[in-house]
Chains A and B, each alone.
Chain A
Amino acid sequence: MAKNVKPIVETPIVGTPVIETPIVETPVIETPIVETPVIETPIVETPVVETPIVDPDFLDQAETLMASQNVKEIWRCPVKGYWFTKAENALDHSKKVDKSPEHYKL
């Protein structure tokens, strides 16, 4: 016996129509950036009170030298004991001996 063959009925595919919704661009409202003014707080520098390095044992000699050389400040190398009437010479020398000079003032 022949088997019953059921015919295949092809259901046509009905496409659902796509309704294209137009894209409405929402206008961007640009909010102006209001800069908040920065209030600058002035930095008050605390004055550095420079304490000259001195050796009390040489104060008298420093005063004598300042008087004889007619200068108001003088430097001394604590390593070699050399005196200087010019800061630049004292600082140059201090680099050689790797030690800050003593600084005496009237």
Chain B
Amino acid sequence: MTGLPNVVISLVRNGLGLVAETNDNTVGFILPGVAVTGKLVLNTPYAIYSTDGAKALGIDITGTNTAAFRHISEFYSVAPVGAKLWIIIVATTTKLSATVDKDLTVCPAKILLNRANGEVMALGIAVGSDAGTTLDGLDTEVSTARTKGQLLAMEYLGKIMPFVLVIEGRKMTDSASLLDLHTQTNYRTSVGLFSTLSDGSASIGLVLGSIASIPVQRKISRIKNGALPISTAYLSDGVAVKEREDLATISDKGYIVLRQFPNKSGYFFNGDFTATSLTDDLNTIARIRTIDKALKIAYNTYVEELDDDVEVNDDGTLNAAVAAYLKQKIETQVNGSMAGEISKFSAQIDTTVDILSGAAQKMYLNITPKGYLNPIEVVLSFVNQ
């Protein structure tokens, strides 16, 4: 006997099959500026939720941090007030590649990503200093940042902190010299060439703001998102978008630019390309965001099962009931968290693995993504009824 007889009640805490929330819209932004005594320290991350948050840090439309304020205000011109934005201000002399060089002692991107602890799913980099040389039609630093940014992104993918890097495509010289990004293998990087100013900069805050305001599967170039809230647009060579005849060439090379439509006012994105082959499944930001969300859900789901003791068959393979449980668990999580963001999801548990021998239990997760209406071909004709 263990004391007086009583009724023992245990609480079951997973009956509802609740799904974990993921941060699908939090972005980070590395910006140029100067420290503000008592308010802002360089190379230190801050989370803000509006332009007021930036002003509180000494980043405003006047003074020494006008460039940073411009990018932040462009972000919040698209993203709603309340959208979380991680920022880190770097010295105005910092080059693009130095913001994402993981081998440097002080790597602003790593500082920000670590502080955000996996929240950041897209990171933008804009600076106030150039290499002073031109490579493949852009400031040399753009290409170097793309290479180094991809390495950094792969490192953080391994840490289950995946992100896509949006690079400010500074100082374009001519469209013919631009490198075709579809010949590259930096699939976690994108380059934006458009700007609200004709000063050689690029307004990637608009890309980040769009990402922060739409679901993972949605393209920033979706026309139903609406026109961007800007009145003039240039590319980073200083030539206005409406005066150009080379937008198709630039778009075909995989750069993000702005475009207009006949009989429709305003500017729209041409796409959300990443610097990789057109045959790569992850050749758009939307696809990367989708797979990254599923990756985080899968990790969060199965990390709870790590080192759990489970029933096995005589040959060391996973018991069918346990396999069914693991399959149902991930399907519930993904279908619950990504409803409307994917077309279909299924999981397969490999029941041929002898886990008693120490082999890894394999699981295959298959996502059917949403499709996109692009291009649209309409056949129009008269008929004699």
Contact = CB atoms under 8 A, between A and B. Distances in A.
Contact of B176 (A61, A68, A89): A89
Interface residues of B, number: 16
B14 interface: no
Interface in A50-71: 61, 65, 68-70
A81 B179 contact: no
Q: Which of A80, A89, A93 has the most CB of B within 10 A?
A: A89
A70 B150 CA distance: 13
Chain B interface mostly helix, strand, loop or mixed? mixed
A93 B144 contact: no
B136 A89 contact: yes
Interface in B122-152: 133-137, 140, 143-144, 147
Contact of A85 (B97, B173, B174, B179): B179
Given A69-B144, A70-B147, A83 B133 contact: yes
Contacts of B133: 61, 81, 83
A27 B138 CA distance: 87
Given A89-B177, A93-B177, A65 B134 contact: no
Contact of B136 (A70, A83, A92): A83
B177 A82 contact: yes
B132 to A, nearest CB: 10
A99 to B, nearest CB: 15
Contacts of B147: 68-70
Contacts of A65: 135, 140
Interface string A71-106: 000000000111111100100110000000000000
A61 B135 CA distance: 12
A85 B178 CA distance: 10
B44 to A, nearest CB: 28
B104 to A, nearest CB: 14
A82 to B, nearest CB: 4
B92 to A, nearest CB: 22
Nearest to B133: A83
A84 B144 contact: no
A37 to B, nearest CB: 52
Given A89-B177, A89-B179, A92-B176, A81 B140 contact: no
Nearest to A68: B144
B136 A85 contact: yes
B134 A69 contact: no
Given A89-B136, A93-B177, 10 more contacts: A68-B97, A68-B143, A69-B147, A80-B173, A82-B134, A83-B140, A84-B136, A85-B135, A86-B136, A92-B176
Interface of B: 97, 133-137, 140, 143-144, 147, 173-174, 176-179
